[in-house]
A = this chain, B = another copy of it.
Amino acid sequence: MLPSENKYLTNVSFDTVIFGFTGEELKILILEYQNSGMFALPGGYIRRDQNLLDAVKKGVMKRTGLKKIHLEQFHTFGKLNRSDPEPSKKIARGLGYELEEDNWVLDRFITIGYYSLIDYNQVRPAPNKFSDSINWYSINDLPPLMMDHKEIVEKALEAIRNDLGKKPIGTNLLPEKFTMKELRKVYETILNKKLRRTTFQRKMLSMDFLKRHEKLYTGAANKAPYLYSFDKEKAEKP
């Protein structure tokens, strides 16, 4: 069944950019719709009886199988030319439906963008019944995305680069314990530039949100590095 108008708010939707980090590069989750070959960000509509944020969380869970992920609102997209009924028609046709011209999903939508940073290795995204597949794509090698979804990805990246200086969001992309080198690699990948080892370490430690653990012994000849984790209590101190 396609979503019916009276259950949802009209003219307003959400889209999500979910980032993972492979250790080398930044990837995002992209859905491919059945039989239409359309690539899209995981998104959806807001039920009339739902808080916006709850709708986004539920929608992400339904589309990707991911539970309890932290979502950050970053921008709302409202250009007139972002509305285009053709992709939605094509997707519906691929699913075996023919949409009437006045169907509410073909109307103009203003969409609210959310991003999320998750641990790439811990998640097994699962396609839902509308989609063929859900896959990680490198942000440097995305398939052709529908509507303005490319622009939404770029704006999300911009927001993350901005937020990185203020909040310790980078740790969300890593396993619970990580080395300083791994954290630096996250920052370097997001900011797309090399950072000095010593300056980076000093800055991170001065921001006081890391907890130091045991050393990581790998048996290699080089000096064993310390492991760190994100210290929620420290970070929340005023």
Chain A residues with a Cβ under 8 A of chain B: 9-12, 46, 48-53, 55, 73, 75-80, 108, 110, 112, 162, 165-166
Which B residues are CB-close (under 8 A) to A55?
78
Which B residues are CB-close (under 8 A) to A73?
75-76
**Contacts A/B (CB < 8 Å), 16 sampled:** A9-B10, A9-B12, A9-B108, A12-B12, A12-B110, A48-B108, A49-B80, A51-B78, A51-B79, A52-B78, A52-B79, A52-B110, A53-B78, A73-B75, A76-B76, A78-B112
Identify the closest chain B residue to A104 (Cβ): B10
A151 to B10, CA, bound (A): 24
Q: Which of A10, A46, A76 has most chain B Cβ within 10 Å?
A: A76
A93 to B78, CA, bound (A): 31
Stoichiometry (number of copies): 2
Which B residues are CB-close (under 8 A) to A75?
73
A48 to B76, CA, bound (A): 16
